[in-house]
Structure formats: C-alpha cells, structure tokens
C-alpha cells in the first residue's frame, strides 16, 4: 500500500530565518577579517527589535549593528508598514567573549589535533530520488519559496507579496519507496492589504500561486520530477485567510529553530544541533556538512540508493567517538552496513581540523546557507566584499557549499570495487 510523506520549508523572510541570516552574516564578517575567529552568535527578532547574544573570540572587531541592519534590508524588510525594518529597528548586542574553559578543549598546538567544540551526534543523508540527492518533497518546498521570493523582487505580476512565507509538500510513495505523485501543496504567503473583500483577495492569491508560481517551479525541475505534478493535487493557499501581519511583528524569530528545514525535511535523522552563527570548530555544523559530503559521494558512487551517516564526538577530543552507516537495505555492495562504516572511516577523515581543511570551512561562506537549506545546493565560487570602519575592505573569492561536491566518487568506487 502506498504512503504519504511531508516536508516543509520557510522563506528568507520568515522570522526564524531572519535570525539565522543575521547570525551567519555576523559569522561571515568575523571570518573575513580573522579566519580563526571562534563564533557562536544567536539572534532574536521581534516587533521593531533585534537582540544579539552569544560568544566570540576574535582578533577583529565588526559593526554588529550595521551588519544586522544590512541583512534585514537585503531580505526585504524596508517598510515601516511591516513594523520591522532594517533602517528603524533597535539592535541590542549582548555578545561576550568565549569561555576559556571551552577554548582550552578546542585549541591545540598542532592544528590537526584540534578538539571538537562540543559533544553530540551529527547526521548526513543522501538519496537517489532526486538529481541533487535530496528528498523530493523538501526540494520542491524549497524551490516553491525561492521562486516566490524571485517573484516578489522581480515580477510585476504579484506586486502584493511581502517577505514572510511557508510551503509544505506531501508526496505519495509506492511500497518500493519510489515517489509517485504530489498529493498536497500548502503555500502561505504574507501580502499587502487588498482594497477588495477577503474573498476576492484570497481568490486572487490562489489563482496567482497556481497559475504563475507553480508553473515557474515546474519548469525548473527535471522531467522525472515534473511528472509528479498532476491535476489531482490538493492545494491549500493561505488557508487561514488574511496574512498581512507577518515577519517578526507577527511571530518572534530565533536562530536555530528550523533545523529540519535546514537539513532533510524529516528524512534521515538530525542530531539536534543548529548550524547558523557557529564557526566550523563547532561540530554541530562542520561534522553535519562532512557527513552529508560522505553520504552524497557514497550514493553517487553506487554504494547504496539511500544512506544515513552518523558521526559523534566528545568535547575537546579530535577523533570521533563513533561513525555509523545505515543503508536502509538499499546497499549495492556485498558488505554489511558495519563494514561500509569501516570504509567510510578510512575514506573520510572526520577530525574537526581535517573537516575544516577539506571543505574549506574557514572562509566567509555561511550567509548563503541560512535560507532554503544547507544541503542539496549547487557548489559555486563567488566574489564577496566585506567593508568595516575598523578593518577596511576585504575582497575574497569564496567557494560555497563545498560539502555538496561529488569530488570523492572515483575514490569511493575504487575502495568498494565498483
């Protein structure tokens, strides 16, 4: 019997995602001027206010308030009517220096022996069901909101759109775990007030979502994913009615409150640690990226159709306390999952310093991760410019989403005789 599975995403204008983007913008600026910065920045956003908190150890100084304001404006919160604007909100900083007791467990004379920044377990997941080795429901949910943001910024067709939005996709699977069709799509988007009645307003928004947004999303998908869209999809568009009050005025936002959106949409597993605002000595972030890198290359090499990689650490200890692999019975090699895990340990050095080096994580590459998922994105190189009244101007060529590169496939195939 077939079954349903659902994933959701949220837009860059969602309150929690605003907080994530501010935290990662601060991190990028610290790393741009001091790559060895230790950063753990948390952000809270609410009506007219931003609160920054956390711990930083760095040889540089950045204008926290200005970075927060620029980030908010870039998302689209630029109008007083939103009751939250980068130009007028208050910004309170409660950031202080990192605890020396934590630092002594991380820093070592030899960089290679750098200890993990905390204990915990992290997961990386990959599946063959999409071209980017991500769960299809989450991938489509992300694409819906990315396209909606593009319409908000560039289109003259849906001029009423405001920054806050959410999407949810329910996918029907066969007994063999193969996607069959999309069962339900939910889209809730913030909007300007309409002069017409609520009924006319909702009819207009639904017509535009179904007639403008969804066709644009479908057109950008591979043909095999396009086939999942049929005439029987159930749509729920702004199901509560009006959505004028949104963003931080409608709901307080916090860094790290959308960790399932950030990863695999409920597929695989999650260790519980958030990513945004954390430098790569925090294995919550770096080891999750490394585990995704390993899982994706293993699936792409043909080791299995679906793989979950777990890695765990003790604070201050370089070597992982465990590495575990689960292929969900989809292995294509004559080996147990335990034996595959042993090969993963040989192929992928999971010590924190090795992860930082391999994935180039000491670069200011994080703001781009803070909305629409950290996984499944396209690796690319960009030019970034950072300016500071205290440190001058820095131009950097930065490689983004390095953990998404399929750069170990040949090595994996050789190791598994594929």
Please report, in range form, the residues annotated as the binding site for L-methionine.
55, 98, 251, 282
Residue 395, SS3 per DSSP: strand
Rounded distance between C-alpha atoms, residue 294 and residue 286, angstroms: 12
Beta strand pairing call for 3-10 and 161-173: antiparallel
Other CB atoms within a 10 A radius of the CB of residue 69 amount to 20
Orientation angle between helical segments 337-347 and 283-301, nearest 10 degrees = 110
Residue set of the binding site: 14, 16, 42, 55, 98, 164-166, 242-243, 251, 257-258, 274, 278, 282
Cα→Cα distances 349→213, 320, 343, Å: 43, 9, 11
Residues contacting 127, CB < 8 A, separation 6+: 133, 134, 135, 267, 299, 305, 306, 307
What is the tally of helices (H) and strands (E) in the chain? 13, 13
Residue pair 114/102 in contact (Cβ under 8 Å)? The answer is no
Rg (the chain; Cα; Å): 22
Backbone angles phi, psi at 20, to 5 degrees: -60, -45
Environment class of residue 1 by beta-carbon count within 10 Å: exposed (0-12), middle (13-18) or buried (19+)?
exposed
Residue numbers in the known binding site for K(+) are 42
Walk across the sheet containing 3-10 and list its strands: 3-10, 161-173, 179-191, 234-237
Which residue has 């299809």 as its token pair?
A: 136
Q: Measured between alpha carbons, how far is 245 from 251 in angstroms, rounded to an integer?
A: 9
> Is 365 in contact with 278 (CB distance < 8 Å)?
no
Residue whose C-alpha is closest to residue 377's, from 224, 206, 245, 262: 262
Tokens, residue 203? 């009819």
Half-sphere exposure of 164 (CA within 13 A, CB side): 24
Q: Quick one: how far is CA 218 from the chain centroid?
A: 22
Q: Which residues are annotated as a binding site for Mg(2+)?
A: 16
């Amino acid at each position: 019997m077939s079954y349903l599975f659902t994933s959701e995403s949220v837009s860059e204008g969602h309150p929690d995602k605003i907080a994530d983007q501010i935290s990662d913008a601060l991190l990028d600026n610290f790393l741009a001027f001091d790559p060895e910065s230790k950063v753990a920045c948390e952000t809270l956003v609410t009506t007219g206010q931003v609160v920054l908190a956390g711990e930083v150890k760095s040889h540089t100084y950045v204008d926290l308030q200005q970075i927060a304001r620029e980030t908010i404006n870039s998302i689209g919160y630029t109008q007083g009517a939103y009751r939250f604007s980068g130009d007028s909100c208050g910004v309170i900083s409660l950031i202080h220096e990192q605890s020396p007791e934590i630092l002594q467990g991380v820093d070592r004379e030899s960089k290679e022996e750098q200890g993990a920044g905390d204990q915990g377990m992290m997961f990386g997941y990959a599946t063959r069901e999409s071209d980017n080795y991500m769960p299809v429901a989450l991938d489509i949910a992300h694409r819906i909101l990315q396209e909606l943001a593009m319409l908000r910024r560039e289109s003259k067709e849906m001029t009423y759109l405001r920054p806050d939005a959410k999407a949810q996709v329910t996918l029907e699977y066969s007994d063999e775990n193969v996607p069959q069709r999309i069962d339900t799509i939910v889209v809730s988007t913030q909007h300007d007030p309409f002069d017409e009645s609520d009924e006319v307003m909702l009819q207009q928004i639904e017509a535009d979502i179904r007639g403008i947004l969804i066709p644009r999303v479908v057109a950008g998908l591979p043909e095999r994913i396009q086939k999942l869209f049929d005439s029987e999809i159930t749509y729920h568009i702004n199901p509560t009615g009006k959505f004028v009050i949104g963003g931080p005025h409608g709901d307080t936002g916090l860094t790290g409150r959308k960790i399932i959106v950030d990863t695999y949409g409920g597929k695989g597993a999650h260790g519980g640690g958030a990513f945004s605002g954390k430098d790569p000595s925090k294995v919550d972030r770096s080891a999750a990226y490394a585990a995704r890198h390993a899982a994706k290359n293993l699936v792409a090499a043909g080791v299995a159709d679906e793989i979950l990689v777990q890695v765990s650490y003790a604070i201050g200890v370089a070597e992982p306390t465990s590495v575990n692999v689960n292929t969900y019975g989809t292995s294509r090699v004559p080996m147990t999952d335990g034996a595959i895990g042993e090969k993963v340990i040989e192929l992928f050095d999971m010590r924190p310093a090795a992860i930082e080096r391999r994935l180039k994580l000491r670069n200011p590459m994080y703001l781009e991760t803070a909305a629409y998922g950290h996984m499944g994105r396209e690796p690319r190189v960009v030019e970034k410019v950072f300016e500071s009244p205290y440190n001058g101007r820095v131009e950097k060529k930065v490689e983004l989403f390095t953990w998404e590169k399929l750069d170990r496939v040949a090595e994996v195939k050789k190791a598994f005789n594929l």
